[in-house]
Amino acid sequence: MTAAQAGLRNRIGDAQPAPEPGHAAIPPQSGPGPAQSADSAPRQAATIRILIVEDEAELTRALRINLRARQYDVLTARTGREALALAASHPPDAIILDLGLPDIDGTKVIVQLRRWCRAPIIVLSGRTSPGDKIGALDVGADDYVTKPFAMAELLARLRAALRRDESEVGRDQPRQAKVGRWLVDLTAHQVRRASAGGEETLRLTPTEWGILELLLNRPGQLVGSAQILTSVWGPGFQQRTNYLRFHMARLRRKLEDNPARPRHLLTEPGMGYRYQP
């Protein structure tokens, strides 16, 4: 074992994925297997995207191997700026974040993320003081794991965070939302006048519904342009911002009292859009 390998083992502990009963150990080069292990994620893991924000290459590699072995989709970033850009263009389901990044302190990254990203954030840091832990949790982290750490414990905390997030999906999402004079019923897929006894309804196209649902399900939060384009049009459309501008203009003409000065469907220049109740 080299000195570098020994140092990595000291930081991680039991980093390599433990073999399941009756199965051979997973070699470092192996990719996702055809079946999930007993400690796989709470829902179909192939759909779960984890963003690792860590500047230590060997530690990033160990995390990536372990997560991919359990069928997670993995993105990696070495800096805070790269992490923010990736989270906006490829929204993760959970984030594993080091605090000691080369460009931005990890707590500042959490603050930036929490302005528009609701994914669980697990801090993975060598900082062990109570002040660092409290500071990270106070600005929006969901959990805090100190280095050195046991990989099994980190994975268990990740599964717990994903379960909490999954159980809360839809809990605070509105079934109805008011935009100008209109009441949007997300369950019935119907838009009607908000005034008492109003029978007038408004027709939206499937594309307009797709955009509107993303925004209304996250009241007050920024939704990145790339996320909307990917969700509504599919992969490969992240740069087609002209599509999004066209349909947002149509939505405003239909829903806002003054489309030229919208009060509810707001643009965040260079970033995305926001529904303001």
CATH code for the domain defined by 3-168 = 3.40.50.2300
CA dihedral in degrees (137, 139, 141, 143; nearest 10)? 0
Cβ neighbours of residue 171 closer than 8 Å, sequence gap 6 or more: none
Question: What share of the chain has pLDDT > 70, as a percent?
Answer: 78
Where along the chain do the CATH 1.10.10.10 domains lie?
A: 176-275
CATH classification code of 176-275: 1.10.10.10
Mean pLDDT of 22-41: 37
pLDDT value at residue 10: 55
DSSP character for 52?
Answer: E
Alpha helices in 13-71 (DSSP H): 57-69
Q: Which two tokens stand for residue 114?
A: 């929490």
| DSSP alpha helix (H) spans, the chain | 3-12, 57-69, 80-89, 106-113, 130-138, 151-168, 206-216, 225-233, 241-255
pLDDT tens string 240-265: 888 999 999 999 999 999 999 999 99
Positions of CATH 3.40.50.2300 in the chain: 3-168
The dihedral built from the CA positions of residue 38, 41, 44 and 49, taken in this order, carries a sign that is negative
Q: What is the residue-averaged pLDDT of the chain? A: 80
Backbone φ and ψ of 71, nearest 5°: 75, 20
The pLDDT tens digits for 154-165 are 999 999 988 876
* Cα separations in angstroms, 249 against 221, 253, 261, 262: 19, 6, 11, 10
- Cβ-in-10-Å burial (0-12, 13-18, 19+) of 191 comes to buried
- Low-confidence winner among 15-19, 79-83, 103-107, 215-219 (lowest mean pLDDT): 15-19
pTM: 0.56
